A and B are shown apart, each in its own frame.
Chain A
Amino acid sequence: MSHSIADTSQDSVRRRGGRKFKRYGLLALMMLPGLVYFLINNYFPMFGLVVAFKDVNFSKGFLAGDWVGLKNFEYLFKTSDAYVITRNTILYNGSFIVINTVAAIAAAILLNEIKNKLFMRFYQSVVLIPYLISTIIISYLVFAMLSTETGFVNRTILPLFHLDEISWYNEAKYWPVILTVVNLWKSVGFLCVIYLASIIGIDPEYYEAATIDGASKLRQIRSITLPLLVPMITVMTLLAIGRIFYSDFGLFYQVPMNSGALYDTTNVIDTYVYRGLIQLGDVGMSSAAGLYQSMVGLVLVLLSNFIVRKVSRENSLF
């Protein structure tokens, strides 16, 4: 060990470092469980995406399969599956965005007009109930309506119009409508609450001035409420577009009760990946579809956030 003049200053640096370590060590320790969790739950799977380029062989260990390059992707895109699931995912989510937004804004404007705040809160709570319950319960509710032998629609509504009963769970053509209605029923309350909060935040002086100038209610909605809602609508819509490649798995899997006859109009990327993995055991194909979803999803999130930043900086994710 050699001593030098710099020794003392080095020592104090080390001591300060030691104190710093002691001070922040505890804080770092506090973060440890959360960080380990993100490592296992989020970062390991990101690296696990390499299975999309492998021929997975469980007997060798799931990461030890041979590299097969882009084979899995070739198989995926050679079938019509890739086209069907992409089409379904984008068309469904696209129409959900439009329909839910329009309905939610209409409901929010109406709720805001209600002068009795007790009633307003009551209606708001009621339209939120479908958002609160699990997709399994929703599937039961849909089943009670659509069951072929005992469903309310087949046994009560269709006979009123002298129509024959329909085997709902076997006829793919009806499901775009059914799923859109169920999705609207489930999520309109949530969006409505968001837009209502935005409307309540509008300065009442605008409306007072407009009333004095003799503007009708409709005119006020068109010229004050809607224009002032535009930033919020833009942000919510762009964020939804950023997630357009991801679907509500339960809606497309549980609500149609995983009926094979309906796959043509109910299969989306998420259900395809699930069935490939769990039911068919085709890890190659489903991991390829999963990577395809993750990558396009990332690009869309970045893109939509880039635009949100231009529109309203404080609402962008980053």
Chain B
Amino acid sequence: MNREHRIWQWITHIIMVLASIGCLFPFVLLIVSSFTSEHEIIREGYSFWPKSFSLEAYSYLGGKLNEITRAYGVTALITIIGTIVGVAITAMLAYPLSRQDMPYRNLVAFLIFFTLLFNGGLVPTYLIYTQAFEIKNTIWALVVPGLLTNGFNVMLVRSYFASSVPTPVIESASIDGAGEIRTFFSIVIPLSTPILATIGLFQLVLYWNDWFNGMIYITDSKLYSLQNMLNRILTDIQFLASGSLGSNVRTGPMPSETVRMAIAVIGVVPLLIAYPFFQRFFVKGLIVGAVKG
């Protein structure tokens, strides 16, 4: 290794370490603050190097376990349903479109594609979902509007089917007497697990993180997802104490500044723990999505 090379290695590592710290330090502040005593936070503010260590925020939240579990349950439910149904609908729509012999395939593909160029926007969407379908304050409001995030996924899966599932394979299956449904499930799907897993992962993250649908369609706090609960608590910390989530547990005065941080920690840490396990697929998916776009 020559000298220039070594200097470059040093510079790049230093800059990337700084960038990594830049990306992570807000999380550290959040986590450290949640373990600080309320008294110190009020006196000194949120800090990276607190003098005290305290679990009071978490013990307070322990009394709100029902509400937190409920919100987690709503999030888990909509994430599971939304991801499975979303991927299933996408694959079922994309497969016929990938078949060269499907009548009207170009017309249908165009109609799906057009939704990427033009959309009605929030107002008509909201009016139709609330007035014509009355999904306000139902669990459907959290699931339905995000099912096929956009036509883009359909196009992505369609081109994957078209290039990775050879037509002769489908034809020979048909000659051997396999029906369309059987061909789809026992040949097309197994050959396409990478792309389905990729869009599934993105769908999953989307549902897990979604707060928008809950914010516009849900006013009943029993149906709050985790993100909606966090959203509400950020602007109205008393919301947790008010018992409007249906709790009768007496918990005493709330250490509000640390509780705010602790509830955010409870909301984000599971995702951060899971991230190392799926980051490879996440990165791959981003590249597939952007490059093929």
Contacts and interface: CB of A to CB of B under 8 A. Distances in A.
Contacts of A180: none
20 contacts: A23-B180, A41-B145, A46-B124, A111-B16, A114-B13, A119-B13, A123-B20, A128-B283, A130-B23, A134-B209, A141-B29, A150-B45, A152-B29, A152-B47, A216-B4, A258-B235, A286-B123, A294-B121, A317-B116, A317-B293
B46 A155 contact: yes
Interface stretch (B60-68, B107-115, B245-253): B107-115
Nearest to A194: B290
A17 B174 CA distance: 18
Given A151-B45, A185-B23, 19 more contacts: A30-B96, A38-B148, A44-B128, A48-B127, A110-B12, A113-B12, A114-B16, A123-B17, A134-B210, A140-B234, A141-B264, A156-B45, A156-B47, A249-B212, A258-B235, A283-B127, A287-B124, A290-B124, A297-B118
Interface in B192-228: 205, 208-212, 216, 227
A154 B286 CA distance: 37
Interface string A170-196: 000000000000000100011001100
A107 to B, nearest CB: 6
A115 interface: yes
A34 B26 contact: no
Contact of A273 (B122, B128, B227, B275): B122
A33 B19 contact: no
A45 interface: yes
B117 A298 contact: yes
Contacts of A142: 26
A315 B289 CA distance: 12
Contact of A129 (B24, B93, B119, B205): B24
Nearest to B216: A278
B22 A51 contact: no
Interface in B115-170: 115-128, 131-133, 144-145, 147-148, 151, 154
Chain B binding surface, main DSSP class: helix
Contact of A27 (B47, B122, B180, B283): B180
Contacts of A317: 113, 116-117, 293
Contacts of B112: 38
Given A152-B29, A257-B234, A28 B96 contact: yes
Interface string B1-32: 00010001101110111011011101101100
Contacts of A40: 128, 133
A254 B231 contact: yes
B167 to A, nearest CB: 14
B83 interface: no
Contacts of A28: 96
Contact of B127 (A37, A62, A217, A318): A62
Size category of the B interface is 35 or more
Given A132-B205, A193-B287, A123 B19 contact: yes
A6 B264 CA distance: 76
B119 to A, nearest CB: 6
A190 B286 contact: yes
Given A51-B127, A114-B12, A283-B123, A151 B46 contact: yes
A314 B241 CA distance: 56
Given A125-B275, A132-B271, A194 B286 contact: yes
B44 interface: yes
Contact of A236 (B17, B148, B290): B290
A227 interface: no
Nearest to A42: B115
Interface string A250-273: 100010011000000000001001
A35 B108 contact: yes
A247 interface: no
Contacts of B208: 134
A48 B131 CA distance: 12
Contact of B123 (A35, A41, A141, A287): A287
A273 B212 CA distance: 14
B279 interface: yes
Nearest to A135: B211
A86 interface: no
Nearest to A129: B23
Contact of A61 (B47, B131, B227, B279): B131
Contacts of A189: 23
Nearest to B276: A125
A279 B23 CA distance: 34
A102 to B, nearest CB: 14
Nearest to A216: B4
Contacts of A126: 19-20, 23-24
A127 B275 contact: no
A156 B29 CA distance: 12
